[in-house]
Amino acid sequence: MYTIIEKKEMAQGTVVKFRIKAPRVVRKAQAGQFVIVIPHDHGERIPLTIADTDAQEGTITLFFQVVGKTTMQMAEMKEGDALVNVIGPLGVPTHIDNLGTVICVGGGLGVAVIFPITRAFKEAGNHVISIIGARTKDLLILEDEMRAVSSELRVATDDGSYGHHGFVTDVLKQILEQRSDIQLVMGIGPVPMMRFLCRTTEPFKVKTMVSLNPIMVDATGMCGACRVRVGGETKFACVHGPDFDGHQVDFDELMKRLMMYSPQETEAVERYKQHHAT
């Protein structure tokens, strides 16, 4: 059993942080990798990126957005409760090198995912410019943590309630227009954000990597549920990713596949709410 050592609600309760006892995962985890979480005996398998590790305590930190039945169930768990299983670390670690100047962009929950990657690039000796954003100031997460692992930090909110009034891609474009030394842009967030981020960097011919979050089941490359088209070839995000060259990703197909089970997901949430109401 994987005990929840710490639970914290963030972004007006829409995002939850778990710090979980998982010493064997900690020993192998690297930036960019994820785990499959199974909350209870009959629960579904949820892929979550490892946001942080503590070798001394043997814990991993995970963040999840409360959007569906299983994440609603997880949000009701308390410190001291335990998840049935945490499988990992899985996926290919983010390739970290001393490149010079790197931009790390996180939107929404993607800020939690980009955090360990940002720290790893900074520790490798890079000048890291971080851009984080959310719809409003109240939904912004990990600002202080991102500032601590970045050389520079820029913040954007869609409604202008904090930082730049607009999107993270607006800030990214400004930096690319001002500087010619950017060696890499790493972007993680909602699919539409990552798509526009790649469109922003393409005219500047800057290498751009994104972390994809397709539907995933077994996370070993056997089921094929997480397949994505990259450079005209089929890739499995669980074993070939989750990081891919953003300029090669077929975002149209990715978005369609993410919407495949929307009716079933909506039905599951409604049944769950009805059950709790009775």
15-21: strand order across its sheet: 52-54, 59-65, 15-21, 2-10, 82-83
44, 91, 241, 251 from 221: Cα distances, Å:
17, 10, 11, 20
DSSP letters spanning 29-62: --TT-EEEEE-STTPPPEEEE--EEETTTTEEEE
pLDDT of res. 278: 63
What confidence category does residue 261 fall into, taking pLDDT thresholds of 50, 70 and 90? Answer: confident
Residues of the chain with CATH 3.40.50.80: 101-258
pLDDT of res. 273: 84
Q: Which residue matches tokens 């790649």? A: 198
CB 149 within 8 A of CB 118: yes
Instruction: Say if residue 173 is exposed, middle or buried (CB neighbours under 10 Å; 0-12, 13-18, 19+).
Output: middle
Query: CATH for 101-258?
Result: 3.40.50.80
| Rg of the chain on CA atoms, in Å | 18
- Contacting residues for 189 by C-beta, under 8 A, at least 6 apart: 105, 106, 107, 108, 109, 110, 111, 133, 168, 197
Tokens representing 62? Answer: 């995970």
Looking at residue 74, the DSSP 8-state letter turns out to be H
**pTM to 2 decimal places:** 0.93
Q: What is the pLDDT of residues 205-253, one digit of tens each?
A: 999 999 998 888 888 888 888 999 999 999 999 999 999 999 999 999 9
CB 45 within 8 A of CB 70: no
CB 87 within 8 A of CB 3: no
Give the span between the Cα atoms of 249 and 260, in whole angstroms.
Answer: 18
Looking at residue 94, the DSSP 8-state letter turns out to be P
Residues of the chain with CATH 2.40.30.10: 2-90
Q: Looking at residues 187-202, what average pLDDT do you find?
A: 97
What confidence category does residue 125 fall into, taking pLDDT thresholds of 50, 70 and 90? Answer: very high
Q: Looking at residues 39-53, what average pLDDT do you find?
A: 91
Give the span between the Cα atoms of 98 and 220, in whole angstroms.
Answer: 30
Domain 2-90 has CATH 2.40.30.10: yes
Q: Which residue matches tokens 């709410």? A: 273
Instruction: Give 228's strand partners.
Output: 235
Query: How wide is the angle at C-alpha 228 spanned by C-alphas 244 and 107, nearest 5°?
Result: 55
Tokens representing 167? Answer: 């999107």
